[in-house]
């Protein structure tokens, strides 16, 4: 991710997952921190990130 629009796209997609209460994106590192009321399924998170045009690292 290289810009605010990129971060907004990822934030929007992740925010739509059930239980997500907060999404924080660190543009310089590309790290995303997701806070959720419930455990999140990695596959659902990966699908949301992919929908925004990106991939999970590692």
Q: By CB neighbour count within 10 A (0-12 exposed, 13-18 middle, 19+ buried), where does 47 fall?
A: middle
Instruction: Decide if 18 contacts 45 (C-beta within 8 A).
Output: no
Q: What is the pLDDT of residue 12?
A: 97
The pTM of the full predicted model, rounded to 2 decimals, is 0.90
Q: What is the pLDDT of residue 58?
A: 72
Summarize pLDDT for 1-58 with one digit per residue, the tens: 789 999 999 999 999 999 999 999 999 998 999 999 999 999 999 999 999 999 998 7
DSSP 2-46: -SHHHHHHHHHHHHTSTTEEEEEEETTTTEEEEEESSPPPHHHHH
d(CA 3, CA 55): 16
Summarize pLDDT for 17-33 with one digit per residue, the tens: 999 999 999 999 989 99
């Amino acid at each position: 991710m290289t810009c605010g629009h990129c971060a907004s796209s990822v934030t929007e997609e992740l925010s739509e997952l059930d239980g997500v209460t907060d999404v924080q994106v660190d543009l310089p590192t590309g790290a995303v921190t997701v806070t959720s009321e419930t455990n999140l399924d990695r596959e659902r998170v990966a699908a949301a990130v992919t929908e925004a045009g990106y991939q999970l690292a590692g």
